[in-house]
C-alpha cells in the first residue's frame, strides 16, 4: 500500500510554487513580454498613411496634422475591428455592383458607395433619430424626394428607390456647397446644420471646419473604408470567393391590386414569408391595401436560389472576387 502525502505538505508545496512563479514574473522585463508575444506570432502594427489621397476627385490635405491623425484613427478602428470590416467586404460584393450603376447614372462619384457602409453597414438599420434603410433617410427627406412612406409601404427600405433618392440629395448638396466632401458632410448632419457652421466659422472647406464629433469623423471613416476595401490584402483581410455574399438572381412580379396575405402570396412563388420580406423589406405589413391600384414590383428570387451551393456554382468563375 502506497504511503499518502499529508494534506499540509501538499498545501505548503503549492504555496512555494505560487511564490516562485510570482517572483519570476516580477523579474520579467518589457523585453521579455515582447519576445513572448513575438514567439506566439501575434503582432499589432501601426498603419502607413498614403502619400496622397483623393475623395470623389478632390484632394485630401494629408499634409495637415489634424487631417492625417483623423484618418489614422479611422484606419486603425476599421482595420482592427476585423469582424465588422470582413462583413463590409462580404456585403459590398453583393450590393456594390448595383449601387455603382445608379451612382454613375446620376453623375455621383464612385467613392460614395463607401458612404452607405459608413451610414448603415449596408443593413436596413433604424437610427435613434428615425433615419431608415441602407441610406438612412429621414421620413421628411424621403417624402420630399417622392418616396412613399406609410404603415404598409416604406420605400426608404427599397434598395433601388432609396439609392436614387440618395443620389438626388447628394447632387443638390453639391450644387449648394460646390464640394463633394461638403455634400457628404451635409448628408450626415443635414444641409441646414452645415450651412449654420459655414456662416458661423466663415469657412466652406470640410477639412477646415469644426463640426460635431460624428460629422468630424465621417469623411475619414469613408476614406478608411475605401482604402481597406480597395486593397483588403494590404490590411490583412483575406477572403475567398466562397466567403463572399454574391448577388442573388431575382425576377420582378407586378402587383397593382390589393394583397390580402403576403404569406399566401409568397407560397404561390414557392418561397415563404421570410424570404419575401428579405427581398422586399419596403413591404411593412402582411397585407397591402392598394386602394388606388398603384403599380408595385415585388422581387422574387429565381427558382432554387435560396441554395448556397447553387449561388456559389453560378459565380464560381467570378474574376472580381477577393482572394488570398
What pLDDT, in 10s, does the model give residues 155-211? Answer: 999 999 999 999 999 999 999 999 999 999 999 999 999 999 999 999 999 999 999
Give dist(CA 16, CA 186) in Å, integer.
66
Domain 54-237, CATH number (from 1.10.530.10, 1.10.420.10, 3.90.870.10, 2.40.30.10): 1.10.530.10
Position 323 confidence tier, pLDDT thresholds 50, 70, 90: very low
Tell me which of 11 and 289 has the higher pLDDT: 289
pLDDT of residue 43: 76
pLDDT of residue 303: 81
pLDDT of residue 203: 97
Whether pLDDT at 302 is above 60: yes
Whether pLDDT at 245 is above 60: yes
Q: Are 258 and 289 in contact (CB under 8 A)?
A: yes
The tally of CA atoms less than 13 A away on the side-chain side of residue 17 is 6
Nearest 5 degrees, angle CA 315-CA 318-CA 319? 170
What cell numbers appear for 29 in the block?
522585463
pLDDT of residue 45: 84
What is the mean pLDDT of the segment spanning 46-54?
A: 94
Task: Find the range with the poorest average confidence among 37-41, 146-150, 257-261, 304-308.
Answer: 37-41
The secondary structure of residue 298, as a DSSP letter, is E
Q: Which of 81, 71, 75, 159 is nearest to 122 (CA)?
A: 159
pTM for the whole structure: 0.82
Task: Dump pLDDT digits (tens) for 62-121.
Answer: 999 999 999 999 999 999 999 999 999 999 999 999 999 999 999 999 999 999 999 999
Q: For a pLDDT cut of 90, what percent of the chain falls above it?
A: 77
Q: Which residue has the cell 448577388?
A: 247
Tell me which of 324 and 210 has the higher pLDDT: 210
What is the mean pLDDT of the segment spanning 28-57?
A: 74
Q: Are 139 and 284 in contact (CB under 8 A)?
A: no
Task: Dump pLDDT digits (tens) for 128-163.
Answer: 999 999 999 999 999 999 999 999 999 999 999 999
Amino acid at each position: 500500500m502506497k504511503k499518502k502525502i499529508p494534506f499540509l505538505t501538499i498545501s505548503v508545496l503549492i504555496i512555494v510554487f505560487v511564490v516562485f512563479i510570482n517572483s519570476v514574473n516580477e523579474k520579467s522585463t518589457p523585453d521579455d513580454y515582447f519576445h513572448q508575444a513575438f514567439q506566439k506570432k501575434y503582432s499589432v502594427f501601426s498603419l502607413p498613411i498614403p502619400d496622397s489621397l483623393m475623395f470623389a476627385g478632390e484632394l485630401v490635405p494629408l499634409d495637415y496634422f489634424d487631417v492625417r491623425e483623423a484618418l489614422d484613427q479611422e484606419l486603425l478602428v476599421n482595420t482592427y475591428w476585423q469582424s465588422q470590416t470582413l462583413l463590409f467586404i462580404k456585403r459590398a460584393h453583393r450590393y456594390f455592383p448595383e449601387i455603382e450603376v445608379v451612382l454613375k447614372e446620376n453623375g455621383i462619384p464612385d467613392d460614395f458607395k463607401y458612404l452607405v457602409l459608413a451610414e448603415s453597414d449596408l443593413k436596413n438599420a433604424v437610427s435613434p433619430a428615425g433615419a431608415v434603410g441602407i441610406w438612412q433617410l429621414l421620413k421628411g427627406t424621403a417624402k420630399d424626394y417622392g418616396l412613399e412612406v406609410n404603415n404598409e409601404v416604406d420605400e426608404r427600405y427599397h434598395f433601388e428607390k432609396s439609392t436614387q433618392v440618395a443620389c438626388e440629395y447628394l447632387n443638390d448638396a453639391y450644387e449648394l456647397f460646390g464640394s463633394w466632401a461638403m455634400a457628404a458632410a451635409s448628408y450626415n448632419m443635414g444641409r441646414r446644420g452645415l450651412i449654420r457652421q459655414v456662416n458661423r466659422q466663415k469657412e466652406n472647406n470640410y477639412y477646415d471646419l469644426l463640426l460635431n464629433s460624428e460629422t468630424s469623423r465621417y469623411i475619414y471613416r469613408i476614406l478608411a473604408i475605401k482604402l481597406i476595401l480597395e486593397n483588403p490584402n494590404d490590411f490583412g483581410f483575406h477572403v475567398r470567393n466562397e466567403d463572399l455574399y454574391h448577388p442573388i438572381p431575382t425576377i420582378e412580379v407586378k402587383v397593382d391590386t390589393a394583397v390580402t396575405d403576403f404569406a399566401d402570396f409568397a407560397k404561390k412563388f414557392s418561397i415563404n414569408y421570410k424570404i419575401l420580406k428579405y427581398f422586399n423589406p419596403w413591404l411593412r405589413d402582411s397585407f397591402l391595401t392598394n386602394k388606388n391600384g398603384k403599380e408595385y414590383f415585388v422581387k422574387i428570387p429565381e427558382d432554387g436560389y435560396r441554395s448556397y451551393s447553387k449561388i456559389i456554382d453560378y459565380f464560381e468563375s467570378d474574376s472580381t472576387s477577393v482572394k488570398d
